């Protein structure tokens, strides 16, 4: 709900004094386009800069979650809020930190998306909202907390890409693809909910 509130507010501000209601397609600067282009090169190598950025970000996230005290405490908080409070783990501090980090990487991803598409508008990322959730769930990360990781989400992205390619090959529409992905998510969420440490929190 908060996401739609903020998005609507941004669109209202952008629409002030225009005739396009904030849906104007803005052109991004050339350097951003080159950064996100799949035809670009990195230090003379035939590797797009966006791929290098993704690999570096993935390593930082995986190491941060698995090998640091902050990451272990975050997993503990997702697994059991009661146990975490008894270990003097600051719930508010970790939630704020998690949202700040999430916001940073969301902004980075949005910038790369705009560079890849060559322009943007307020609804540029709408088609990816459900896809990202599907990738996380398919990768084995519990939406209820306590289990998973970014490495698993990367695997989920690769699996989702294969599934999507097959569905497109079958000639299914985008709506039908979303429906099938939803059918994949429902049983996996139901399975996670049966986990003992999850049931103790519900």
30-44: average pLDDT:
68
For residue 47 the two structure tokens come to 């590797």
pLDDT of residue 112: 82
Distance of CA 146 to the CA centre of its chain: 18
- pLDDT tens digits along 10-36: 666 666 555 555 555 566 777 777 776
Q: Specify the pTM.
A: 0.67
Measured distance CA(111)–CA(8) in Å, rounded: 19
- For 54, phi then psi, to 5°, come to -65, -40
Look at residue 100 in the predicted model and tell me its pLDDT. 92
pLDDT at 24: 56
Residue 199: predicted pLDDT = 43
Question: CA geometry: angle at 95 spanning 77 and 186, to 5°?
Answer: 70
pLDDT at residue number 98 = 87
**Confidence at residue 194, expressed as pLDDT on a 0 to 100 scale:** 55
- Beta strand extents in 3-155 (DSSP E only): 26-27, 119-120
Vertex 140: Cα angle to 136 and 143 (nearest 5): 60
Q: Please, what's the largest Cα pairwise distance for the chain? A: 56
Extract long-range pairs of 18-22: CB within 8 Å, 24+ residues apart.
Answer: 22/121, 22/122
In sequence order, what are the residues at sequence separation of 6 or more whose Cβ sits closer than 8 angstroms to the Cβ of residue 164? Answer: 177
Segment 94-153, tens digit of pLDDT: 889 888 998 898 888 888 887 777 766 666 777 777 778 778 877 777 766 667 788 888
Sign of CA dihedral 154, 158, 164, 165: positive
Q: What is the CA radius of gyration of the chain?
A: 20
Rounded Cα–Cα distance for residues 163 and 110 (Å): 24
pLDDT in tens, 153-201: 888 888 888 888 888 888 888 778 878 877 877 776 666 555 554 444 4
Does residue 72 have a pLDDT over 80?
yes
Q: Is the pLDDT of residue 76 over 50?
A: yes
Cα(151)–Cα(25) distance, integer angstroms: 34
């Amino acid at each position: 709900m908060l996401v739609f509130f903020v998005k609507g507010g941004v669109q209202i501000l952008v629409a002030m004094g225009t005739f396009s209601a904030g849906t104007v397609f803005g052109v991004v600067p050339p350097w951003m386009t080159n950064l996100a282009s799949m035809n670009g090169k990195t230090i003379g190598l035939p590797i797009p800069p966006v791929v290098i950025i993704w690999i570096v970000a993935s390593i930082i996230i995986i190491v941060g979650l698995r090998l640091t005290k902050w990451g272990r405490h975050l997993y503990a908080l997702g697994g059991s809020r009661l146990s975490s409070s008894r270990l003097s783990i600051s719930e508010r501090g970790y939630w704020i930190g998690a949202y700040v980090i999430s916001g940073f990487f969301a902004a980075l991803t949005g910038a790369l998306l705009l560079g890849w598409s060559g322009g943007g508008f307020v609804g540029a990322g709408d088609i990816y909202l459900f896809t990202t959730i599907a990738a996380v769930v398919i990768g084995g990360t519990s939406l209820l907390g306590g289990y998973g990781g970014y490495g698993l989400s990367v695997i989920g992205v690769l699996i989702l890409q294969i599934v999507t390619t097959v569905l497109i090959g079958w000639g299914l529409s985008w709506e039908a693809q979303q429906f099938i992905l939803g059918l994949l998510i429902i049983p996996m969420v139901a399975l996670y909910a049966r986990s003992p440490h999850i049931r103790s929190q519900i």
